[in-house]
Structure formats: C-alpha cells, structure tokens
Copies of this chain bind each other. A is one copy, B any other.
Amino acid sequence: MKADSEIFPTTYHFLKSAFVIEGQFKASSQVIDWLKEQNERVKISIKKIRFDQLDQWSIHSQKGNIQHKTGKFFTIDGIHVKTSWGNVPEWDQPIINQPEIGYLGFITKKFEGILHFLTQAKIEPGNVNHVQLSPTLQATRSNYTQVHRGKKPLYIEYFQRAKPHNILLDQIQSEQGARFLKKRNRNIIINVEDDIPVYDNFLWLTLGQIKDLMQVDNIVNMDTRTVISGIPFGSFDKEVVDFYSFLWAHRSKNCFGRFFLKSALTENGALHNIDEIISFLTKIKSTHDLEVTYVPLNQLKHWIFGEDMIFHEELKYFKVIAADIEIGNREVAKWSQPLVEPAQEGLCAFVVKEINGLLHFAVQAKLECGNYDIVEFAPTVQCLTGNYRHTQEGALPFLDYILNAKPRQIVFDTLQSEEGGRFFREQNRNMIVMADDEVPIGLPENYIWMTLHQLYIFLKFNNYLNIQARSLIAAVSFL
C-alpha cells in the first residue's frame, strides 16, 4: 500500500475511489437507514424567537448590525450594492458577514487499496431533515479556537498536524455570494496511513458512494459537496481515455457516466483553451464594478426590520430570523442564533453538450454582491431565491429549456440543502441536463463552454467557481 501511494499520483487514487460504490463498511442503502436512525436518536428543538430574545446576540448601537457579544462567529449586516452589471444598478439587502476562513475537511484512508472518506452524520439546526452526511471536520475559526467554550472539534488535531505529503487537496473556496459577504472556507482532504479512532456517528465511505448518495434528496450536505467538487482526476491522452471508456462501457448502468469520464480526464480538445477562458473572465472583471457599502439594518431600502424577522417588503428573496436551538450531539447543546430563511425553493442547473467528442458545460459568469472577486463561474441557470416559475418566458437563458427537458435528457435531478448552520430549511433543485441539437454552440454573452477537465483546473486555483456550480460538479458520476 505504501509502495502504491509512492508510484501513483493522488488523482489516480481519487479516480479509483470514484468507481467504487461498494465500500468496505456500509452499502449506500444501509447508509440511508443509518442516517434515519441517527435522526431518530437525537433530540432536536428549533423555536423561532424575537431578536431581543437572542442570547449573547444583540443589535450594535452604532453599526446597526446583529452581532455576537464576543464579536466572533458571524454578523448580519446591511449593505448597499452598486454595480454596472445586469439590469438592477443598485439595491439594499441584509447579508451574512463571516470573514474568518474555516475548515471543511475530510480524513481519507485506504482500505483494500481504495481511498475511503471519513464522513460524519451531523445535525445542523437549519437542515430539512436534521442529520446529513458531512465532512470529518467542519469548523469555523471561532469553533476551533473555542470561543464558545464547547468541546474541541473531533479530529482537528489531524488537520493541524498534517504534513505536505499527507495533504491531498487544499483549496480556498467561496460560499453563496448572494448571502455571504466574501465568505470563504479552506477545503482540505488529508490522508492517514495508521489506524485512527472512528467515533460515534462517523463512517468510512468511498467517493463513489458519496456521489451515489447525492442521487437522494438532502442526504449529502453542502460542505461535503464543496470539498468533493474540488477533487481532480488527472490528465490522460485521448486514446487512453477512450480505452477506459470502452472497457467500462459494458458495466456502466447509464450512458452518461462515460461522457463525464471522457470530459474529466481529457486534457486537450476543448472548444476554448484555458487562456481564452481566462481572457473571457478578465474582460468581464475589467469592465464591471461592484461596490458594497455598509448600511444599518433598519435603514435598508425596501426591507422591514420587524421584531422577529427582517424581510423584503414584497416578501421576496429571504428573511433573517432568530431561533432558539437545542440539539443532542453538537459541541454546544443549547444556543440561539440568527438564521436566513429562503422565500422559496431555487433552481441550479447545468446544460451539457457534446462538442468535438467531449462533453462541455455551459458555464455562466455571474456577479453576486458578496463575491470575493466581482464574478465567479456559475451554473447555466441559477435562480436561487427568485420566483423562477413565474419569470417571464425567455427572460432567463436556458430556464425554459431546463424546465421542459425530456426525461431522457435529465442526467441528474435532486433537491440539495444549503448549509444548515446558517440557512433555515433551504433546499434547491439541482439538475444536469443533456442538450439536444436545439442548443447551438453559440451562447449568450457572459456564457462559455468548458469541459470538466477545465473546470477542475479552475477549481484548483481557488475562487473561480461559485458554490452552486461546485455542488453540481460534486454530483457528477462516472458510473
């Protein structure tokens, strides 16, 4: 096993793990039962309260934002946004401000030569179904420096002690730019060779299993999805990939897996090269402004700061609420905090199309007010919080196309949760749709075709793909 890891690159071990859906420990169907059990075993109570009932949180007299008395965790701020992008040149909104970079980390270990990921059945207050599969470690800096004086997060010491040769992936990636102000996390995967303790609620799964479980609604949490989305699978020559695909073909349960495999592994042959894609982005960043200034929450235009919620006067977008939370298996058992509650379910979808024999994704450059660097690559359709079903026909490119896709075009279609530590029961429909000949190669302005291999390159260099795009890429399966 040691010799194995010396000879083969990390990407190859990821690739093998992505093909294994029978892990050494639990079958996927058993995992779902196991999560149900966890769900039943744990006591949970979430009660909406008034802002003035929040324990340890208050409205800052000068800044007019909501903050924790330690100044840590996060704040709910009001912002005024000005931009030359799109049709709305300025607006006000509340936003979550959490400038610290936290850990989202997996420990991996090889069993019978196959990389397994140590997942955790973790409760978050806002989760639709309470318990979801999360990374080994999910910790804000406030968490692991123990501002809340709770228990030290389990396994943190493995990450803090990791040496370069044990680190398989280590990226800084963004969160929702419409909800978080420049929030980023450290997405990290480390490898251990020795035995380690497997605590209650933890379970080793292969990458193939995690991806398989994404076929079920609201099982794999957002933090797991962002970390696994960044996993690259290496580069191979065209004929090598073709032969892989040929060898695998007769075993594959659907025909899409082979297309994704080819698109993921093939270095050359894309419609645009990396430099052209960077130029596409450079042009957009150079010609659009994004200016964000703070405004007290009670002075936001078109938003009402009520005693138990902050909401848009047309009840659009989202609300900020306050909640009392009591949970059994978290580091701190009882606390209160603000949460963000969506106005309705959203839709994130990629249109994919075979071009020059390689599957390409129609990627959108999208400006969101909380973005670290003006625009990020987003799914073809992303209307997270808008009332997309009532949007004027044709107003949003590809929206009608996605909603009217024929069953044989649908590669992926599930509900996935947003981060339950900040969002109250928010789930979005995640779809991947195979284009037919109707979809031309020419795309609207601010859209560009990219292969999976190219998306993995941008993922590596941080802050290029938004979390909605990453969530969909996490769902890509070769099986």
**Which positions in A face B, CB cutoff 8 Å?**
10, 99-101, 103, 164, 167, 169-172, 186, 188, 272, 274-276, 278-280, 282-283, 285-287, 289, 291, 372-373, 460-463
Contacts and interface: CB of A to CB of B under 8 A. Distances in A.
Given A460-B275, A461-B461, A462-B278, A101 B286 contact: yes
Contacts of A274: 460
A169 B278 CA distance: 9
A367 B13 CA distance: 35
Contacts of A100: 289
A275 B10 CA distance: 10
A282 B460 contact: no
Nearest to A464: B461
22 contacts: A99-B289, A99-B291, A101-B286, A101-B287, A164-B272, A164-B280, A167-B276, A167-B279, A170-B275, A170-B278, A170-B279, A170-B283, A171-B278, A172-B282, A172-B285, A172-B286, A186-B282, A186-B286, A274-B460, A278-B462, A282-B462, A461-B461
A171 B169 CA distance: 25
Contacts of A286: 101, 103, 172, 186
A141 to B, nearest CB: 8
Contacts of A188: 282
User: Taking each of A101, A275, A289, A460, which has the highest tally of chain B beta carbons within 10 Å of its own beta carbon?
Assistant: A275
Given A10-B275, A278-B462, 6 more contacts: A100-B289, A171-B278, A172-B285, A186-B282, A186-B286, A373-B463
B170 A460 contact: no
Nearest to A101: B286
A394 to B, nearest CB: 27
B171 A282 contact: yes
A279 B168 CA distance: 9
Given A186-B286, A286-B101, A460 B278 contact: yes
